[in-house]
Chains A and B, each alone.
Chain A
Amino acid sequence: ETGVTQSPTHLIKTRGQQVTLRCSSQSGHNTVSWYQQALGQGPQFIFQYYREEENGRGNFPPRFSGLQFPNYSSELNVNALELDDSALYLCASSLAARQETQYFGPGTRLLVL
């Protein structure tokens, strides 16, 4: 059974640029959630995708957007990057019927200069 994988592991961008982060969910999981974890903070929910549709969103502006593909992998896109977007971005997959238990990937560390 393959776990949740994320790419890239690290990324450096400059303010105003756009970034795409990728996530492959655990085998058989059709739900993916994205989180932002700033330094010294807990993960903050960005949004969730279920069967290729957005299925809930946290308090993040529209420049944070996502996609889920038929194979349940997912992308997080962030436009017009700001310095405060520097964080660890985590994705988590789950079976929709048991979404209490989420399995997290190792994260992508984004630095915005």
Chain B
Amino acid sequence: DQQVKQNSPSLSVQEGRISILNCDYTNSMFDYFLWYKKYPAEGPTFLISISSIKDKNEDGRFTVFLNKSAKHLSLHIVPSQPGDSAVYFCAGRPTGNQFYFGTGTSLTVIP
């Protein structure tokens, strides 16, 4: 049962442009969402989070938007840099301590 879905396995963006990564979820009980970035041969690195009581959270070049009615969140990276090339996972948590991860989107930023 895939409760978090990332329907785009890959995304290519020109350096300096905006990258938009999307994530859909099915569980309306999720109260917290996170985005992780993963480089090859490394563990996922925490990027940004958002509570379900908010609809936007911003941290530097990274902004996460949450649309609870649509059960959709997105990560915006502006401007995109070559070092942002990685696999991005979104994750959601219902009340409790178990996070459900999506299958990831591989972002390539072209110099």
Contacts and interface: CB of A to CB of B under 8 A. Distances in A.
Interface stretch (B12-20, B64-72, B78-86, B96-104): B96-104
Interface in B83-111: 89, 91, 93, 96-104
Contacts of A4: 43
A105 B43 contact: yes
Interface residues of A, number: 24
Contact of B43 (A58, A101, A104): A104
B44 A43 contact: yes
10 contacts: A35-B101, A40-B103, A41-B103, A42-B4, A42-B6, A42-B101, A55-B97, A90-B44, A106-B43, A107-B43
Interface of B: 4, 6, 32, 34, 36, 41-46, 49, 89, 91, 93, 96-104
